Copies of this chain bind each other. A is one copy, B any other.
Amino acid sequence: MIDKRVSSFDEAVRDLGDGATLLIGGFAGFAECPSYLVAAVARKEVKGLTIVGNSAGLGQEHMKKRMARLFKCPDDYYPPSFLIERGQVRKGILAFPAAMGSSRSPFEEAYAKGQIELELIGQGSLAERIRTARAGIAGFYTPVGVGTFVAAGKEVREFDGRKYVLERALKGDFSLIRAHRADRYGNLVYRGTTRTFNATMAGASAITIAEVDEIVEAGELVPEHIVTPGVYVQRVVVRPSEPRAWNLPG
């Protein structure tokens, strides 16, 4: 019987080693962040990671302060920046590494200390490079970035009188994503804007691991409503019902 359920987050990241490239889902908030998978990677103390995503996160404190008027940020929010703060990340391929305004993100702090490399790329090219990896395409020509630093060192070419830059597929070793419901086949549905990069990254790595709110029986998800077919997902883990400290195994 096909069954992609894994009993713990530690088990889910068992083969994630030093130097791995991680596509980490999410956008800017806590609800779409695969926090428990990030925490499991932190517990594993692997080093030299490359992280790929929108923002590495602006840190827990930022989220709690800045967002306080808008949301109550849960205690179990562990954005990718958590791994940066712990010195586990060698490089970021990101669209939003720097904080808005004059405050500094954990990424900026690490960058200032020379501890981390940056490949800055816009969200659109980043998302398409990831989708392209899933789709078995080597690269694509986009009009976005021509004539800017983003195109430096990349092929620029004219089609029908417009210039395009060649962007290459960006495949990960692991995609760590967050979803709402899953079945044992790994089929996934997402709530609202938590879909974002999570659905884009599913299938774009050798191993895709989904952190979900709930697992339902096969057949409960309506075929037309499934956003990520289970073929793109290797492992599914359920979030704990109560917030758990990051350093507790599980």
Known: A159-B168, A192-B224, A224-B225. A139 touches B141 (CB 8 A): yes
Contacting residues, chain B, for A218 (C-beta < 8 A):
none
How many Å lie between the Cα of A137 and that of B189 in the bound state?
Answer: 28
Pair A140/B139 contact, Cβ less than 8 Å: yes
Residues of B with C-beta under 8 A to A136: 142-143
A137 to B137, CA, bound (A): 13
Chain A residues with a Cβ closer than 8 Å to the other chain, count: 25
A132 within 8 A of B: yes
Contact of A139 among B159, B190, B223 (CB under 8 A): B159
A189–B162 alpha-carbon span in the complex (Å): 35
A138-B141, A139-B140 given; 11 more Cβ-contact pairs under 8 Å: A128-B137, A138-B142, A138-B143, A138-B162, A138-B164, A139-B159, A140-B140, A140-B141, A159-B168, A190-B224, A191-B224
Interface residues of A (CB under 8 A from B): 128, 132, 135-143, 159-160, 162, 164, 168, 189-192, 195, 223-225, 227
